[in-house]
Chains A and B, each alone.
Chain A
Amino acid sequence: MNPREYFRQFADAEEFERIVEKPTVTAMWRDCTAEFADRDAIVFKGESYTFAQLESDAAGFRTVLDNTVKDGKRVGILSANSYDFVKAYLAVVTTGRTAVILPAHLDQRSVFGCSIMFGLDAVIYQPELKESVSLVKVPLIDITLTSDEKTGMTDCDEKTPCVMMFTGGTTGKSKCALLSNGAVMQGTVNGCYGISPVFGQRYMLVLPLSHVFGLIRNLMTSLYTGSTMWICTNNKDMFRDIQVFKPTVLVFVPALAEMSLSLSKQFGRNMLGEELKYIICGAAAVAPYLIEEYDKIGVNLLQGYGLTESANLVSGNPESLKYPDSIGFPYPNQEFKVVDGELWIRGKNMMDGYVGGDESGFDEEGWFHTGDLVSIDERGLLRITGRIKEIIVLSNGENVSPAELEAHFNALPFIQDSQVFEDVAENGKHILALEVVPRQTVLSKMDLENPKEYIISELEKVNLTLPSFERVNRIEVRDSDFERTPSMKIARYKKC
């Protein structure tokens, strides 16, 4: 089925026709400022900024840019999430320049290294992070600067480089993915598919704008749809902010969705507000339990799949309740191939390549090898079955995908998270081990005499349904959560 046609069934007919592709961010932003001029685009620290105000401030900042780096093409942005970040980002990319998004936690040596490695012509910085740019040799621009003189947008084409985003890539070595205007816009439009209504929503930004999920699915799609986006200044205040702003769409990683649900259960009220309709969830596997529990309080938790290299969005699942183990249907303008189980992609949303490091990211036919193992069912729905770099090769030569096994164990409602890994037994033999974190909110209602014993016996039952070479040899019920990465994913064990 044509991907766009697949998503049509989940939209209002009139709204669906408004979801059209735009060649560049400049083209999109020009349309947004004309169509939504008086509507609030951003709310930050109690101040609301309309689309017209945001464009006016971006136009002033374009003048600052022109005065500082007239011919400069690559401009770094080092800032925490803020209104000024959005203003500076729009100013950079609507002049045909490339915004190189530097994570705000980078120290001064790293920022200096980035300025050399990525060939930056200037760095825009948040005053609070001035120390972090102290070693940089190119011009520095205070992000709060403005000018009464307004400079208009510059037209470019869809091939013009737009943003560079940090990624570990498929090999884990840090570098930047260079995304063209066309790729960013495809990712932005992809974010419109699968939810209804889609225009004029209230988004809340919790994830960092230095992450592609925050920048494209959250900010860019919010702007494209004439929605209003509240920028959280501190994650601890997000529930207080939610009570005030009443978002209709949240873009979350699963750990945040799990935390919100636990807090709601602990305090006996829906912490996410009564008007929330959708949680867009990605960046890690989503437990079916979460989808079901959110459905009970009237929230559609939709999971999707994407990469920094694909301008965030590759596939989305508007039918997450029906198919909770699927990352959904591929978005338009992509070609797919599954080779030895690995997903290969080619399409408009793909990056131009990596900057920094020596990988190109593509093979000679232009396919990007995602490193993710997938299966596709007869309906065309994708399922992740593992990651190539996490594959465990057993001594008998069999390959085991931890993610695929974990999905079986995670289907038990009282399992919050699990990790399958290779370990060495006391006799020196390499074995498959499983550690799980129980979900106490479910367990506590089960009135069990010995919860740990029960969990292990249920996990053993699941284990026995697996092919013998995939069965785990040791099961441990953890007393605490797993270590987490900065993006709240489970830090994987490397014991062998």
Chain B
Amino acid sequence: MLMTRQEILDKLKEILVAADSGNKAITESCSEQSRLKEDFGLNSVNILYMVIAIEEAFGIYFDDVGVNSFSTVGEVIDYIEGKLR
């Protein structure tokens, strides 16, 4: 069964919190509009963690992503949703 965007967001939020050791901005106000770098302050190691953990948790494969491939949480959800279809 396909996941809803909200379900993807919830799972992604867990990953982001783990990627940046309990980042408070993520736990308190993670929305589709949140910007990974500007709002959450994620660095290259955190983004690498995020990508690896998404592949593991959602069972998908990112084609070729760099640190700057995604700007917002919504863009990450778009990508996951596209891969899950």
Which residues of A are in contact with B by a Cβ distance under 8 Å?
234-236, 238-240, 255-256, 259, 262-263, 266-267, 416, 437-440, 443, 479-484, 486, 488
Contact = CB atoms under 8 A, between A and B. Distances in A.
Given A236-B62, A266-B18, A484-B43, A479 B56 contact: no
B24 interface: yes
Nearest to A239: B52
Interface of B: 15, 17-18, 20-25, 40-46, 48-49, 51-53, 55-57, 62, 64-65
A440 B21 contact: yes
A90 B53 CA distance: 37
B22 A440 contact: yes
19 contacts: A236-B51, A236-B55, A236-B62, A255-B45, A262-B21, A262-B49, A263-B49, A263-B53, A266-B15, A267-B53, A437-B21, A438-B21, A440-B21, A479-B25, A481-B43, A482-B43, A483-B43, A484-B45, A488-B45
A108 to B, nearest CB: 19
A153 B64 CA distance: 38
B20 A481 contact: yes
A416 B20 CA distance: 11
A437 B64 CA distance: 30
A480 B23 contact: yes
A263 to B, nearest CB: 6
B64 to A, nearest CB: 7
A52 B51 CA distance: 37
B18 A416 contact: no
A481 B45 contact: yes
B13 to A, nearest CB: 13
A483 B46 CA distance: 10
A259 B22 contact: no
Contacts, number: 69
A488 B53 CA distance: 19
Nearest to A481: B20
Contacts of B65: 236
Contacts of A236: 48, 51-52, 55, 62, 65
A482 to B, nearest CB: 8
A443 B22 contact: yes
B25 to A, nearest CB: 6
B44 A488 contact: yes
Which of A267, A480, A484 has the largest number of chain B CB atoms within 10 A? A480
A165 to B, nearest CB: 22
B56 A480 contact: no
B21 A416 contact: yes
Contacts of A234: 64
Nearest to A238: B52
B51 A438 contact: no
Contacts of A438: 21-22
Given A235-B48, A236-B48, A266-B53, A480 B18 contact: no
Nearest to B17: A440
A480 B55 contact: no
Given A236-B51, A236-B55, A267-B56, A481 B22 contact: no
Given A480-B25, A481-B45, A440 B18 contact: yes
Nearest to A439: B21
A488 B56 CA distance: 23
Contacts of A238: 52
Given A262-B18, A266-B53, A440-B17, A480 B40 contact: yes
Contacts of B64: 234
B44 A484 contact: yes
A175 B45 CA distance: 26
Contacts of A255: 45
B42 A263 contact: no
A480 B36 CA distance: 12
Contacts of B48: 235-236, 259
Nearest to B21: A440
Contacts of B41: 480-481, 483
Contacts of B53: 263, 266-267
A262 B22 CA distance: 12
A256 B49 CA distance: 9
